[in-house]
Amino acid sequence: MDNGASSYRRFLDGEESAFDEIMKELFYGLVFFIDRYVQDTQAAEDIAIDAFADLIVHRHKYNFKVTLKTYLYMVGRSRALDYLKRRKETEVLSLAENIEDAKSLEEMVLADERKRAINLALQKLPEDMGLAVHLIYLEGMTYKDAARIMKKSPKQVDNLLYRGKKELRILLGEDGEGFQ
């Protein structure tokens, strides 16, 4: 499992269908991740579409030094922050009209009931802490990749994760006892 890098290589070699594989593997995860920032599923979807369009337009921007998933999440984060900045500037806040969308997205990305419970509890954690737990527990990323996406050092991610776990144990109560 190389998180899409080999599929992207095949896509660059001219195999158009490889892009479908990338989309299938990474698209909704990316939307779900971006949604954590923008709290608007439609906007998150829009941003994710832009990030994927970037992969086609700027074909050689991705240099295979990190996994394609990490790269896409980095692009997604940066675009999400830009979006938040614009939204703040224009003060047009489209508050969660799309709760249904968010719900179905969560079901699509998190098949495991336990992960959904964690995701729900993550909403109550500070942003960075929640993000660290999201990337490492829900997305299964390495500390290094999570640190790259969050633009922090692996040590900082480790600290956030430690504190996040502590908070989650309290929030999840008995269910959180086994949370490692």
Partner 1 sequence: MRNLEQCKAEVLRRSENRIKERRKKRRQVVAWCVPLVLCMTVFLGIMLPSMGEKAKSAEWDYLDGAMTENGYVCDYQEVVIQDSGGSSRNVTSPEEVAELYEAIYALDPSIGTGQRETVGTVDPEAPIYGNEERTGRAITFFRTDGGSISYILEGNVLYNLTWNLEIPLTQEQAAELRAALGIEE
Binding positions for partner 1, rule: CB under 8 A:
19-20, 23-24, 27-28, 41-42, 45, 48-50, 52-53, 56-57, 98, 101, 104-105
CA-based end-to-end distance of the chain: 24
User: Quick one: 32 or 179, whose CB is closer to partner 1?
Assistant: 32
User: Two tokens at 127?
Assistant: 């942003």
Which is nearer to partner 1, 50 or 158 (by Cβ)? 50
* Residue 62: C-alpha distances to residues 89, 132, 139, 159 (Å): 31, 23, 20, 29
CA distance 51 to 53: 5
Cβ 179 to partner 1 shortest distance, Å:
30
Smallest distance from the beta carbon of 49 to partner 1, in angstroms? 5
> Shortest gap between Cβ of 98 and partner 1 (angstroms)?
7
Question: Which CB, 41 or 70, lies closer to partner 1?
Answer: 41
Asked whether 25 and 7 are in contact (CB, 8 A), the reply is yes
Given the complex with partner 1, which of 20 and 127 has the nearer CB atom?
Answer: 20
Q: How far is the CB of 178 from partner 1 (least distance, A)?
A: 32
CA geometry: angle 79, 30, 121, nearest 5 deg: 105
CB of 61 to partner 1, least distance (A): 13
Nearer to partner 1, 104 or 153 (CB): 104
Chain centroid to Cα 120, Å, comes to 15
Length of the chain: 180
